[in-house]
Amino acid sequence: MGNRLVQALLSSSAICCTLAYAGLVQAAPNAFTDRGTYDAAVAGLSNVSITTLNFDGLTAGDLIASGDTVDGISFSYDLGGVSLQVTDGADTTSAPNFLGTNDLGMLQDGDDFQLGFGARNAVGLYVMSLDGLIDDDFQLTVGSFSASLSSADLQYTLNDGTSVYFLGIVDPTATFTAASVTTSHDGQSGYFLWNADDVVTAVAQVPEPGTWAMLMAGLGLLGVRTTRRAVRRGSDGLA
């Protein structure tokens, strides 16, 4: 009876581990346009480490040249002679600073940039504009996978009337080291100005196949020890 119980437990554990690992392998990148659901997905990663670049550790007016790295995130861009710049103001997602340019503190449609960082499973950021935005005005892209702005997913409106949107990508099984922030170039939206803030990235410590093997080996040893105890107790009872 003891042996059968142990074998059943080990079999169940093996099935659970196999299904869990298979679920991880089959998972795909997910796009988010809501900060709450993005945060929930990030929180579901294994042993997750989260980092947020909110530009508040810098001084308003500081320039971020193409190739510069800020808090582990590098910026690459070509804005036609304009530079990214730390900007401040009363209204942003995390006061006082946010990302703008040295052209009146604002980015405009067509001002695209790339982000580089260490291995990550997730990246997201806020984009903000006083101008009316429509679907797909912004894209956050990792590899060939993109999250596009949804005008229906307005996160909130700041006191000065600025509309705040969020874009995020979470890949629970694979890490990446770069992402791009691009604006629509189809001419449908017309001219718009914008800013960005709170670049949040995360990395998970996902068990490797070798770790699962070690776990199964440990369960096997536990089963052997449990079986020996069961046999010993049975022998003691018969004595």
Say what the pLDDT of residue 15 is: 42
Q: Any bridge partners for residue 138, and if so which?
A: 183
77 burial via Cβ count (<10 Å: 0-12, 13-18, 19+) = buried
pTM of the entire predicted model: 0.77
DSSP 160: T
Tokens 């009872």 found at: 237
Give me the DSSP letters along 85-141. Answer: EEEE-S-SSSSSEEEEETTTT-EETT--EEEEEEEESEEEEEEEESS---TTSEEEE
pLDDT tens digits, one per residue of 207-225: 555 444 444 444 454 444 4
Beta-strand relationship, 163-170 and 107-108: unpaired
* Mean of pLDDT values over 128-134: 95
Q: Which residue has the tokens 């196999």?
A: 18
pLDDT the model gives residue 10: 41
132-136, 176-180, 189-193: least confidently modelled range: 189-193
Most confident of 56-60, 205-209, 214-218, 226-230: 56-60
Whole-number pLDDT of residue 205: 80
Contact assessment for residue 149 and residue 165, using Cβ atoms and an 8 Å cutoff: yes
